[in-house]
Amino acid sequence: MPQAGSHRWARRALAVLLSTAMIFAVPLADSASAHGSVVDPASRNYGCWLRWGNDFQNPAMQQQDPMCWQAWQDNTNAMWNWNGLYRNGVGGNHEAVIPNGQLCSAGLTEGGRYRSMDTPGPWTMANLASTFNIRLSDQARHGADYIRVYITRQGYNALTTPLGWNHLELVRTTPKYAPGDVYMINNLGKGSRTGRHVIYVIWQASHMDQSFYFCSDVNFG
């Protein structure tokens, strides 16, 4: 009997340890994934999470939002981790590190988790006026050494062509931002662009050499 009691005590102790481990594991995972994204106009994976996060198994998505459908089918974690599309150690050499055709996935970062973001097609667009603002959410308050905003050149076909550096025009490089929840890039202009375009944003975080990359699909009326 004492031996059986010892086994029961050991099982209870193991159960308590496992329960405690689970309690502490969840906050660590959450804090590790808390970074940020361009939320207006929404980046591709943030927009998919925003529109379908509560209904991502709805087959209607395939017709209503086909690019989000292919993204959810490819890797659901690309949307659940909408705030983690970054690379470490780029050293400011963005064009050398991120290959053409992989700009929206940050060069297949995180083992290719975000590769579906590189797929050209009819992504849901935000309608923008001639002058517009960009809002970037920084959940972890990393700060920014700078934020660069590019817009695709007139004539680029986002429906058929994976995004490359040669398709982009740099329209703004911001100064440094102190750590905060939201960074605004105001009074950007579309120039002579009309129709479907991609806005490409690089956020160089200040807390370490960590670079975030975002593709947002827009329509200039």
Q: How confident is the model at residue 221 (pLDDT cuts 50, 70, 90)?
A: confident
Q: Which two tokens stand for residue 41?
A: 């106009």
DSSP 32-72: HH--EEEEETBBHHHHHHHHHTTSTT-TTHHHHSHHHHHHH
Q: How confident is the model at residue 18 (pLDDT cuts 50, 70, 90)?
A: very low
More confident residue, 3 or 35: 35
Mean pLDDT of 140-147: 96
Q: What stretch of H or E contains 127?
A: strand 126-128
More confident residue, 3 or 170: 170
Confidence check: pLDDT of 7 > 50 = no
Q: Residues 214, 201: contact at Cβ < 8 Å? A: yes
Confidence check: pLDDT of 143 > 50 = yes
Confidence check: pLDDT of 73 > 60 = yes
What lies within 8 Å, CB to CB, of 185 at 6+ separation is: 133, 134, 136, 147, 149, 172, 174
- Would you call 178 helix, strand, or coil by DSSP? coil
| pLDDT for position 34 | 62
Any idea where the domains of the chain sit in the sequence? 1-33, 35-220
Confidence check: pLDDT of 200 > 60 = yes
| pLDDT for position 172 | 98
Q: Any idea which of 7-21, 110-124, 165-179, 197-211 has the lowest mean pLDDT?
A: 7-21
Cα 159 from Cα 196, distance rounded (Å): 9
Cα 147 from Cα 203, distance rounded (Å): 5
Confidence check: pLDDT of 10 > 80 = no
Confidence check: pLDDT of 177 > 80 = yes
Confidence check: pLDDT of 180 > 50 = yes
Q: Residues 147, 174: contact at Cβ < 8 Å? A: yes
Q: Residues 218, 126: contact at Cβ < 8 Å? A: yes
Calculate what percentage of the chain has a pLDDT beyond 90: 84
Cα 40 from Cα 88, distance rounded (Å): 24
Half-sphere exposure of 200 (CA within 13 A, CB side): 28
- Would you call 78 helix, strand, or coil by DSSP? helix
Confidence check: pLDDT of 171 > 50 = yes
Confidence check: pLDDT of 122 > 90 = yes
pTM of the model: 0.85
Q: Superfamily assignment of 35-220 in CATH?
A: chitin-binding protein cbp21 (2.70.50.50)
Q: Residue with structure tokens 């808390």? A: 34
Q: Residues 179, 141: contact at Cβ < 8 Å? A: yes
